[in-house]
Amino acid sequence: MIAIPSFRLEPRLEAGRPGGQALQVLSGAVLAFVLGALFLIATGEDVLVAYGALLRGSFGSVNALSGTLNKAVPIGLCALGIAFAYRARLWNIGAEGQLYMGAFGAAGVGLHLPAETSAIVALPLALAAGMLAGAVWALVAALLKAYRGVNEILTTLMLNYIAILWVGYLVNGPWSDPLVFSFPYSAAIIPGAQVGKLFFGVHAGLVVLCLMAVLLIVIDRSSRIGYELRLAGDAPRAALYGGINQRKLVLIGLGGAGLLAGLAGAIEISGATLRLQSGLSPGYGFMAILVAWIAQGRPLAILLASVLYAALINGGFALQVSGIPPAIGTILQAVLLLSVFAATTFGAYRLRRVPTGRVAT
Amino acid sequence: MQTRPLVRFRGVNKSFGALQANVDVSFDLRPGAILALLGENGAGKSTIMNVLAGLYVPDSGHIEVDGERLALGSPRASVAAGVGMVHQQFRLVESLSGFENISLALHGGRILQPRSADAKLKALMEELGFNIDLATPVHAMSLARRQQLEILRTIAAGARVLVLDEPTSVLSAVETHGLFAIMRRIVASGRSVILISHKLTEVLEVADEVVVMRSGRVVHKGPTAGADPDALSRHIVGDRSFVTDARPERAAGEIVLRVDKLDVADHRGATVVHGADFAVRGGEVVAILGVTGNGQTELMEAIGGLRRPVSGQVEAPRHNKRRAFAYIPAQHLGTALAPGLVLRENAILGHQRRLGGRGWLQRHVLNARAGHVKGRFGVRIDEHEPVRRLSGGNLQRVVLGRELLDDPSLIVADYPTRGLDVASAAQIRSALVAAASKGAGVLLSSEEISESLAIATRVLVMHGGEVVADLPAAEADRERIGRLMTRGREAQ
């Protein structure tokens, strides 16, 4: 008689430590690179060339690194906003549109202030206008949700298209730059409304991103509004019991998300593109949803995940330059995301040996 | 002649971390017997039953069914061996009909599903005395019907050992007798029933044998015939003594709650409370008595602010238009407590805007409150753990500890001892009496007449959504109240 050990998955009862979660993400990433390598071999591409290009394009040079960090800023800001709203289980799918409206707000200030306005006045004004525009855009969905019970997933999603088309209209019509024929660009914003560079091409938006992450940590840990958002998200009826105004929470949750996405748009205008243009964002607001999920809403993890995601985009460009089809870069991104999701999902379980396994003869 | 036991538990041990939930649990279940498993909350009754059902893997020990060793830790193996469990929370699909729910269990994977009960199922219902219209969707069934459906499903799926986890906690007295009749016919058919309970009188009425557990161990087993109730209660609670303070002796003070011609609707919009009109003064303990479903919960929810009344008014202590009195709702997890938030955070729920700090929650205030809430009734939990893992009794202690913290002038408690064991219930009653002795007004709803009469200074009886009687405790005797609860005004 041989006792065959049997195993089974059991949910972990205790919450994982941050170190354990980092390990899960890392093992997911390793798995992704192995799967990606198999895929590259199957399609006849050179694994080393592909991964080399990916690495070079994302972190391999000062330019690559600064490009990665600059792209991480809008993704990270939108993701922080999405995570903030999700504290109350509100789904903000509209970060992309809010980003566009933020860009519109900042560009409106940057284009219409007198050219000699000093940065002390112009820059805060541009960023504030961007945040306000993003927040107002999100509040359209929030008001519908709070007073009419309209599902915010649908409204925020649909509002994206309106915002993107609105910016397209502006740069082709009233705000189009007479000097760049047929390009959907506005004129450049005034120098005072530009955030300027920190070092090696990295613009100051990175500082803003880090500050906002810290702010979210503080809100989570010790603000009453953060408490009420988490309470409403965890148990809506307990929020009612606790005398919390649910309408106000919806407005604050989605409004805050819109504010951060609007800030992302404003920083894109004032630090990266320096003008309003269509195709301003390659979908930062949508990528941010994935980033917020992978990071499970944790602010510091969002910082890390947004840099990694930006690295994937940047590395994808380098893949194309090395002659590898761009679709492969997209597939590698997808493999990475799925692997990390899988790793964190299974990380919530542990493998346990069942002591009295079946006895075989 | 000694018949072979249907189920034998042999030295089962199970621990969760440092907690020994089951210590060397051994007992037998005869075929055709109703065995009552008695014990306080947390005595280990549910743990041993979850081991039987294959939901927990024990650390050591084994279980035999029909003399065969049961493969442990496998719900499939347990079901195949004929073990069926009916949990406190029903596991029914509410949008499906009764038959569809049974069909799910019987023909789960089949593509072509039968549409109505076959002769075998009808014969089974006939034999066991079930009276359910299987074409009715579950959401339209009463709790008692749903419970019957769940039992029928379990037996139809082949259960020979039926485990009922506190089945009477959701039933009225009449429904309880209906359930007992079904249980007797189930065991007459050769099946066995394990009844988890802590209601001694019911157990003595229906069970053949009793096993008492305390702190994870079996402390008594024997037949119910000729059992001494007092001896059994001593086994259940051990040698601790628990005495409820007598009702507060104090002249009634100022009015702290005034309910003015209140009409309240339930979740479907039907008005279930009609013209409730009464007041509670400081120092009073007012008990609302009624059979479940006569509007008590809706009335309490309207007073507590969970439900908007259709008409009428509630005057109670408020602070910036928010509730500024203690309210213990019928359901703790999900209403009075947020399951995913840690104890520190739950310790301020409802008070978060009364703590000062201008929009910031101060760490020292949170810590101090969490310490008080834990200390008040002796709840042991890490302050940084989500409260969802606490047992029912401990959850209720957390809610009570928090709500009584600031010496509220009014305490509204909806059946605060529901599902609690004798000692916990006594502790909670004592706390309410103590608060009233210090001058608070207490409004308490309950279904247990003697428990309420022991501490109440006044009794309101609800029947059909109306307050049909308002009696000083001195004039309230059990029988009169029982008649009012079941027959309303015509009993007067």
- One-character DSSP codes across B320-389: TTEE-SEEE-S-TBTTTB-TTSBHHHHTTTTTTTSS-STTB--HHHHHHHHHHHHHHHT----TTSBGGG
Residue B250 confidence (pLDDT): 65
Closest residue to A227, CB basis, from B59, B335, B361: B361
The residue written with tokens 């072979």 in the block is: B4
Residue A358 confidence (pLDDT): 43
B455 or A353, which is more confident? B455
User: Cβ contacts (< 8 Å) between B357 and chain A: which residues?
Assistant: 224
Residue partners of B171: CB distance under 8 A and separation at least 6? B143, B144, B147, B179
Q: Which tokens belong to B392?
A: 């029912």
User: Cβ contacts (< 8 Å) between A355 and chain B: which residues?
Assistant: 57, 59-60
DSSP per-residue string spanning A169-212: HHHHTTTB-TTSTTS-EEEEPPGGG---EEETTEETHHHHHHHH
Closest Cα in chain B to A359: B71
Closest residue to A224, CB basis, from B62, B361, B386: B361
pLDDT along chain B (492 residues), means of 10: 81 83 92 89 85 91 91 88 86 88 79 76 87 86 87 91 85 83 91 86 88 90 85 74 62 88 85 92 90 83 92 90 90 90 91 85 90 85 81 85 92 85 82 91 84 86 88 79 74 62
Residues A204-255 have pLDDT tens digits of: 899 999 999 999 999 999 999 999 999 999 999 999 999 999 999 999 999 9
CA distance B476 to B450: 11
pTM of the model: 0.77
Q: Report yes or no: A100 and A166 within 8 Å, Cβ to Cβ.
A: yes
User: Cβ contacts (< 8 Å) between A234 and chain B: which residues?
Assistant: 338-341
SS3 B101: helix
Asked if A238 lies within 8 A of B59 by C-beta distance, the reply is no
A5 or B385, which is more confident? B385
Residue A357 C-alpha, separation from nearest chain B C-alpha, in angstroms: 8
Q: Residue B174 burial by CB count (10 A; 0-12/13-18/19+): exposed, middle or buried?
A: exposed
Closest Cα in chain A to B324: A243
Residues A87-139 have pLDDT tens digits of: 999 999 999 999 999 999 999 999 999 988 888 999 999 999 999 999 999 99
Asked if B335 lies within 8 A of A238 by C-beta distance, the reply is yes
Closest residue to A228, CB basis, from B71, B337, B352: B352
- A218 — contact with chain B (CB < 8 Å)? no
Residue A317 C-alpha, separation from nearest chain B C-alpha, in angstroms: 43
The residue written with tokens 């496998």 in the block is: B74
Residues A177-188 have pLDDT tens digits of: 878 777 888 988
Residue A230 C-alpha, separation from nearest chain B C-alpha, in angstroms: 8
Asked if A355 lies within 8 A of B339 by C-beta distance, the reply is no
Which of B267, B341, B355 to mutate to test binding with chain A, by most A CBs within 10 Å of its CB? B341
Residues A131-166 have pLDDT tens digits of: 999 999 999 999 999 999 999 999 999 999 999 999
Q: Over chain A, what is the mean pLDDT?
A: 88
Closest residue to B359, CB basis, from A225, A234, A241: A225
Complex confidence, ipTM: 0.81
Residue partners of A75: CB distance under 8 A and separation at least 6? A264, A284, A287, A288, A291, A306, A309, A310
Residue B61 confidence (pLDDT): 93
Closest Cα in chain B to A240: B306
Residue A126 C-alpha, separation from nearest chain B C-alpha, in angstroms: 28
Residue A18 confidence (pLDDT): 62
SS3 A10: strand
User: Cβ contacts (< 8 Å) between A228 and chain B: which residues?
Assistant: 352
**β-strands A202-203, B318-319 pairing:** unpaired
Residue A298 C-alpha, separation from nearest chain B C-alpha, in angstroms: 16
Name the DSSP class of A294: H
Asked if A223 lies within 8 A of B323 by C-beta distance, the reply is no
Asked if A241 lies within 8 A of B350 by C-beta distance, the reply is yes
Kindly tell me if the per-residue pLDDT of A21 is higher than 90.
Answer: no
Residue B203 C-alpha, separation from nearest chain A C-alpha, in angstroms: 34
Work out the average pLDDT over A321-337.
Answer: 82
Asked if A238 lies within 8 A of B322 by C-beta distance, the reply is no
Residue B1 confidence (pLDDT): 43
Residues 10-49 of A with CB under 8 A from B: 13, 15
Residues 139-168 of A with CB under 8 A from B: none
Q: Which tokens belong to B376?
A: 């008040």
Closest residue to A354, CB basis, from B57, B334, B348: B57
- The radius of gyration of chain B from alpha carbons, rounded to an integer in Å, stands at 24
